[in-house]
Amino acid sequence: MQIATATYPLDWFSHWSDYETKLTRWVADAAGQGADLLVFPEYGAMELASLAGAQAAGDPQQSITAVSGRIEDANALHSTLATRFGVHILGGSAPVRDGQSVVNRAFFFAPDGAQAYQDKQIMTPYERDEWGITGGGPLRVFDTALGRIGVLICYDGEFPLLARSLAEAGAELILVPSCTEALEGYWRVRIGAMARALENQCVTVIASLTGAAPRLYSVEENTGRGGVFGPPDRGFPPTGVIAEGTHDAPGWTLAGVDRAAIAAVRADGNVLNLVHWAEQAPRFAHVERTLLRQDSP
């Protein structure tokens, strides 16, 4: 399959048609380059708050209300584009009201009209304390025409057991849409994604927001790049980097991924992390303390 992952700048819209034009252009561009799967970043939907005006877009609760109110229309547009261009699309995630809670939700669209979503599991301190967003659930593995795909939204990709549960459920690809305001945040997500690819002998894909959006609450500053990573083993690049974009350069990063290569390295790689994972359990249950200095108590 051909994967296109976005380094995506947020814009300010005066009319819904402006958003339609932008999204259509982005999808058409990726599809025109042969992409089968398109990945947009975490909080990519925050630009929808601009349609409610500057006051709403700059306020935490009003911006959530504004974006939530546009999600149904945005989903309809994504679904139409997925069908029109014959692609799978992971849309930019959004803060969505779910009962009494607000969750960070990414919607997934198939070319046949099927639609599902993944909620972020573990919130960053900022999301918890400043924004009032809570962890949703459950984790899902999506059975698609492209294979079994999991989604770990940004911070979730830094937790090995979440990815492991997806791999044990059959995930071959793990998508990691991200939103990071500083370079260290980008590298936390990237290092996590590369580690998850190593541990689970799978392919991970990160998408990033980029650029300044000073009028949009919580996404005022963004940095990152798209990247596609695999295990540094047989059938994959020795660095584990299948493809990466230019940092903070808006556009798509494209990579070809062969599911057969994932199956092959899981069955007969130089190392077998996926199979040998279970051997950790009896070894971390007890840690023996050994004294190596005479004055130790």
Structure tokens at 128: 């918890």
pLDDT at 265: 98
Q: How confident is the model at residue 296 (pLDDT cuts 50, 70, 90)?
A: low
The domain spans of the chain are 2-284
Mind spelling out the 3-state secondary structure of the chain? CEEEEEEEECCCCCCHHHHHHHHHHHHHHHHHCCCCEEECCCCHHHHHHHHHCHHHHCCHHHHHHHHHHHHHHHHHHHHHHHHHHCCEEECCCEEEEECCEEEEEEEEECCCCCEEEEECCCCCHHHHHHHCCCCCCCCCEEEECCEEEEECCHHHHHCHHHHHHHHHCCCCEEEEEECCCCHHHHHHHHHHHHHHHHHHCCEEEEEEEEEECCCCCCCCEECCCCEEECCCCCCCCCCCEEEECCCCCCEEEEEECCHHHHHHHHHHCCCCHHHHHHHHHHHHCCCCCCCCCCCCC
Residues 70-83: tens digit of each pLDDT:
999 999 999 999 99
**Residues in CB range of 72: below 8 A, 6 or more apart:** none
CATH value of 2-284 in 3.60.110.10, 3.40.190.80, 3.40.50.150, 1.10.10.10 = 3.60.110.10
Residues 167-201: tens digit of each pLDDT:
999 999 999 999 999 999 999 999 999 999 999 99
pTM across the whole model: 0.97
The upper half-sphere exposure of residue 211, i.e. CA atoms within 13 Å in the direction of its Cβ, equals: 16
Mean pLDDT computed over 213-217: 97
